[in-house]
Structures are given as structure tokens and as C-alpha cells.
Amino acid sequence: MNTFPTLLKREFWEHKGGMLWAPLVVGGLLLLFALGSLLLGLAFKGGALTMNGERIVIDGQLIDAATQAKIAGSMVFAALPSMAPLAGVLALVLFFHALGSLYDDRKDRSVLFWKSMPVSDTATVLSKLASMLVVAPLITALIGGLLGVVLVLAAALAANMLGAGILGRVLATPDLYLTPLAIVALVPVYALWVLPGIAWCMAVSAWARRAPFLWAVGLPLGAGVLLSWQEAMFDVALGAGGFWKHVVGRFFGSFIPGLWFAFDAREGGLDGFTPGESSVLELVAQSYASLASPALWIGLAVGAVLVALAIRLRRWREDAG
């Protein structure tokens, strides 16, 4: 009854460094760098920004209430771009985790021990998949959401110390409180879009006798180069552009959170969204709207086939050569 949760716990403890400590360390360093920059800015501030009652004057120009509200909205929206380093860390952690998921235990022969346990290959593979699709992104989303709010509040407080009464407007902006929830709400969207990439890496990890990185990266890149070369040499359309975007780009680019709009086949996936002015809920809504894209469902079908292949390969591959 408790087999699957136990397998998930095993995955977390075996990869705790990548799932938990990597985003924590990167987030801590980012926070220290941001706070250091704000302190330096306060130490060497000029006299361009002054406060006169409820008015903010920058370089002699009065900033009205509507503009102040836009500034506050832009500051809150900056919580999302501030997560870019964490998104990069998550992409790298998942990519290399997937590549080693079914290869490492064959390489050190520990697969023989796990096969002696009353645990099926299906449960083992699916637990590894769930840890990469849900557990790791959720941890990163929670850390990133908290980090974004702290950075926004620190920037607003620094602006207040310069004389701009922007902190109250930032605190009154609903997106300040919605952004962490929105980031967590995007985890299911990310999981669905990244599934084909993770499944590809897992299938290669279950099949390769050595150097799974070279096989996982080399096969799609080699096929793309071959198609492009044949198109150039023989002046025929072989769909190289589509292959680079929907196969190579999807397998590897989808590891980066937020890039699902690049693979969304619908027109105008981000129409009407203005950073700093539109609510973060609109970004969440348009992200979920991308689930109607045929590109997603084709990718899910391919991912399901690759996961089934990884399960089958695990049943008869017991060593990494």
C-alpha cells in the first residue's frame, strides 16, 4: 500500500542535493547579491528622487498616482524574472537526473538489489518520473515564490528609504500575494510540457550501455544536422525546421519553465498580456490555455510511448556494460 510513497521518498533522499539544496543555494546567493546591490545603491544614492508630501519627484518631474501604481505593478511583476536562475537550475537538475535515473543503478549494479525487492519495474520507473515531474518543480516553485516576494519587498523598502513612498502601493498590489500561488499553479503545466523531454532521457538511460548523455543529445542533434544538410544539398523540403523546433527543441527546450509558449501551436499565445500591467493570473490562464495546443497532446503521446519503452527496457537490461 505504501510502496509508491516509499519509492518517492527514496528518490528525494537520493537526489536531495539537486532537488532541494541546489535551488536553496542559488536562491540564497541571488538574495545576497540583490540585497548587496540595494545597500550599495542606498550608500551612493544621488539627489534625483525626492518626496514632497504624497508626491514623488524624479529628476524634477512629478510622478502622479497612476504612474506610481504602474511602478508598483512592475516591481511586483519583477518577482517572475527574478526566478530565471532557479528555472535554469531546475532544468539542469531534471535533465541530468533523467539521464541517470535508470543508468546509474545498472552501472553500480544496485539494480540487482532493487529487482530482488517486491517492487515492480513499472512502479520504480513511475516513481522516478513523478519525482521529476512533480516533486522537484514544486520545491523550486515554493522557494522561488518566497524569494520573489522577499526581493520585491526589499526593493520597495529601499525605494522608501530614498524618499519614494512606494512600499504601501506595493503592499496594496494583489499580485504580490498571488504571484507565489501562481508559480505553484504553473507546476502542472510545466509537468505536462516537459514530459516528452524527461521520458526521452529516461528511455535513453534505460537503453544505453555507456555515455547516456552523448546518446540522448547526439541522436536528435545528428538527425537534425542530417536533415538540414540534405535540404541544403538537394534543395528538397524534408521538414528540418519543424524537426529542430518540435523534436530537438521540445526534448531539450521544454526543460526550461515558461518556454511552453514557444512550442504552443496556437496563434497569439500571449496576446493581450503586458508585463507589469496585466495581472499574473492572466499569465496563469494563458499558460493553462496552452494545454489545448495539439503540440502538447502529440508530445504527451510520444512521452507515454517513451515511458513504456523505459519500463520494458528496465526489465531486461541489468548492466551498463
**C-alpha to C-alpha distance for 234 and 242, rounded to whole angstroms:** 18
Say what the pLDDT of residue 270 is.
Answer: 66
Tell me what the mean pLDDT of segment 109-113 comes to. Answer: 64
Say what the pLDDT of residue 186 is.
Answer: 96
Q: Which own/partner pairs from 256-261 qualify as long-range (CB within 8 Å, at least 24 positions apart)?
A: 256/87, 256/88, 256/91, 257/87, 257/90, 257/91, 257/137, 257/186, 257/190, 258/87, 258/186, 259/193, 260/189, 260/190, 260/193, 260/287, 260/290, 260/296, 261/286, 261/287, 261/290
Residue 64, pLDDT above cutoff 60: no
* Cell numbers standing for residue 298: 502529440
Say what the pLDDT of residue 291 is.
Answer: 92
Residue that is written with C-alpha cell 531534471 in the block: 94
Question: How does 18-44 read in b/e, with b if 16+ C-beta sit within 10 Å?
Answer: bbbebbbebbeebbeebeeebeeeeee
Say what the pLDDT of residue 92 is.
Answer: 96
Query: pTM for the complete prediction?
Result: 0.88
Read off the pLDDT of residues 112-151 as tens digits, 9 standing for 90 and up: 666 667 778 899 999 999 999 999 999 999 999 999 999 9
Residue 105, pLDDT above cutoff 50: yes
Residue 18, pLDDT above cutoff 70: yes
Tell me what the mean pLDDT of segment 246-264 comes to. Answer: 90
**C-alpha to C-alpha distance for 316 and 321, rounded to whole angstroms:** 13
Residue 285, pLDDT above cutoff 70: yes
Say what the pLDDT of residue 271 is.
Answer: 65
The residue that leads in pLDDT, 188 or 162, is 188
Burial of 111 (0-12, 13-18, 19+ CB in 10 A): buried
State CA 175 to chain mean position distance: 20
Residue 310, pLDDT above cutoff 80: yes
* Cell numbers standing for residue 77: 511583476
Say what the pLDDT of residue 51 is.
Answer: 46
Q: Where are the domains of the chain?
A: 3-38+47-316
In the chain, the percentage of residues whose pLDDT exceeds 70 is 82
Tell me what the mean pLDDT of segment 292-307 comes to. Answer: 94
Measuring CA to CA, which residue among 258, 301, 310, 269 is closest to residue 80? 258
